[in-house]
A and B are shown apart, each in its own frame.
Chain A
C-alpha cells in the first residue's frame, strides 16, 4: 500500500471532525473521497498533507509512519497537494507558480522536461506563462494548481475539489486530464463533491458522512449503489 490511514481522528479545538477513519490507496490507483459539505473530506486531505495535526491514529506512506511529519518533509517523501480553493500564489506568474511546485527539487534538466509535460497537459497555461496567477480565470487557476502539484513529481497526488466552481465543460476537461496523469503513473487521492465524475473516474472510492466512512467500494459499484445514488448523485 502506498498510503495507509488507520483509525484517524482529528479535532478542531474540542470538536472532533474525524471519528476514526481508515483509508488505503494502492500504487497506481485513483481513489476518490466523496461526501457532502462538512463531511470531513478536506480535513482528511489536510491531515494527509500535514497541514493539520492528528489526534489519534496513524498515517503511513510507502511503509513509513508520517503521522507527525512536517508538511514540507512530506513533499520530499513524494506527497503533493493541490489545495482546496486552488491556493495559487496570486502575485507570481504562471511560470513562477510552476517553479514553486518544483521547490524541493534540484534536478534542473528533469524540471525542465516536467515543465514541458505540464504545458503539454495544459496548453492554456503555456499561453499564459507570463501572466500573474491572480488574474487567471477559475478554470485556469485550477489547471495551474494541478500543474504546480505535478511539478513536485509526486508519488501521491492529492487533489482537493478540482471541480469546485467550474463550468461543466471545464470540469470534464480537468477530469480527463486527471485520468491521463494517473495513466502516466501517478497515484491520486481525490476529494470531490461532484460524485458522478469522481466515481466514474476512480478505481475505488470512500463515502464520508460527518467524519465517518459509511461506505466503500469500487467506483462502478458505488455509482450504481442505491444509497449513493439517492444521496449524492441526485437521481431517484
Chain B
C-alpha cells in the first residue's frame, strides 16, 4: 500500500515541484505585497464570510466551537511551535517536556496576577496591601518570560550535556515534574487551580469592554500580533551568528566545536529562547482562559507540540506554523466524528511520516541533511 501511496505522492511532487523556487524568484515588491495581503487576511479571519470558504469555519457544524476562539487556540499553538522549533528544528535538541514551560508561563500570570492566588494573598498579608491588590498584567509579561527563561537554563544546565534520546527522556520528566508540583503544592492552588487570572484590562469582570470573556476576537488579534512579531524576531535570530551556530551544532556537534562554536552555551541559549516563547504562549492562554488547573498541562500536549513541529517541517517557520495550525484546527473542524477524531489524527500523522518524512513544508537545509543521511545509511550496514 505504501508503494501506491508513494507513487501518488511522486506524481503530486512533480506537480508542486519548484513552487518554492518560483515564489523566491518573484520580485521583492510582489513578495512584500503578497505577505501584507496574507497578514491582512489573517486579521480578517474571524469574520470569514466569503462564500465557499465559510465551510472552514468551526461554528457551522453541530456543537462547533466559536470560530474566533478556535483561531485563538491555533495562534497559541503556532506560537508554541515557533518556540519549540528553535529547540528542535534549529538547535536539533529533542525536547519532550516543552509543556513545562507553557505551564510555567501560565502559572506566572496566575500566581502573581490573580487576587485569588495563594502567592498574591501571602504578599498582601506580608506587606499589608488591600485585598484588591495583585501584580498588574503588563508586569506579569516580563515576569513570565524571566521565569521561563530561568527554568530553561535550570533544566538545560545539567541535561544539555546529554545527547539525543537521553535528553528527550530527561525533558519528558521535567514536563511531568512541573505538572505534579503544580498539582500537589498549596501555593499553586493544587488540583483546584487558580481563577480570576487577569487580562490586559485587569481581572475578568463584566465591565471589560475589549478583552472580555465573551468575545474571543480581540484575544485572537492579540495572539496573532504576538505571533507575527515573534516570527520576525526568530527569523532575524536564525540568520544571525547565533542561528549559524545552532545550525552547525545540529548538523555536527564535534565539527562545530572544532570550528570554535561553544556548543553548550548555544544549546543553553536555544533552550532559554524556546522556553521564553513557550512561556509567552502559556501566559496568553492563561489570560484568555482566566482559569487554569494542572490537568491542562499534561504530557500529551508535549507530544502534540513536537508532532506539530516535526509534521510541519522542523527548522522551517512556515512549516511548523502550518503544522501547529492544522493540529489545533482539524480536531475542532471535524468535531462531528468526535469518537474517531484521535484515530483520524493518528492516521494523518502516520501518512505525513510515510510521505513527507521531512515535514509538510520542510526547510531546504533539513531536506538536504536527510538526503545526505539516506545516502550514508547503506554504507554503514
Contact indicator per residue, chain B 243-260, by CB within 8 Å of chain A (1) or not (0): 011011001101111111
B258:A80 contact, CB within 8 angstroms: yes
B372:A76 contact, CB within 8 angstroms: no
B366:A101 contact, CB within 8 angstroms: no
B251:A72 contact, CB within 8 angstroms: no
B336 proximal to A (CB < 8 A): no
Docked Cα-Cα span, A117 to B51, in Å, equals 62
Taking Cβ atoms with an 8 Å cutoff, the residues of B that contact A are 241, 244-245, 247-248, 251-252, 254-263, 365-366, 368-369, 371-373, 375
B368:A91 contact, CB within 8 angstroms: yes
On chain B, the residues within 8 Å of A149 by CB distance are 258
Contact indicator per residue, chain A 193-221, by CB within 8 Å of chain B (1) or not (0): 00000000000000000000000000000
Q: How far is the CB of B243 from chain A (nearest CB, A)?
A: 11
B368:A132 contact, CB within 8 angstroms: yes
Q: Which 10 A/B pairs are nearest by Cβ-Cβ distance?
A: A134-B372, A75-B260, A87-B255, A104-B260, A90-B372, A91-B365, A91-B369, A71-B257, A89-B251, A81-B258
Among A50, A73, A100, A148, the most chain B Cβ lie within 10 Å of the Cβ of A100
A67 proximal to B (CB < 8 A): no
B375:A100 contact, CB within 8 angstroms: no
Contact indicator per residue, chain A 78-94, by CB within 8 Å of chain B (1) or not (0): 00110100011111100
Given A89-B252, A91-B247, A132-B368, A76 and B257 contact (CB-CB distance below 8 Å): no
Q: How far is the CB of B264 from chain A (nearest CB, A)?
A: 8
B368:A100 contact, CB within 8 angstroms: no
Given A132-B368, A134-B368, A103 and B260 contact (CB-CB distance below 8 Å): yes
Q: How far is the CB of B24 from chain A (nearest CB, A)?
A: 14
Q: How far is the CB of A20 from chain B (nearest CB, A)?
A: 25
The B-contacting residues of A in range 146-186, CB under 8 angstroms, are 148-149, 152
B262:A70 contact, CB within 8 angstroms: yes
Q: Which of B259, B263, B366 meets A75, CB within 8 Å?
A: B259
B259:A148 contact, CB within 8 angstroms: yes
A49 proximal to B (CB < 8 A): yes
A27 proximal to B (CB < 8 A): no
19 examples of A-B residue contacts, CB within 8 angstroms: A49-B258, A75-B260, A76-B260, A88-B252, A89-B248, A90-B251, A96-B244, A99-B244, A100-B248, A100-B256, A100-B261, A103-B244, A132-B365, A132-B368, A132-B372, A134-B368, A134-B369, A134-B375, A135-B371
A87:B252 contact, CB within 8 angstroms: yes
A91:B260 contact, CB within 8 angstroms: no
Q: How far is the CB of A32 from chain B (nearest CB, A)?
A: 20
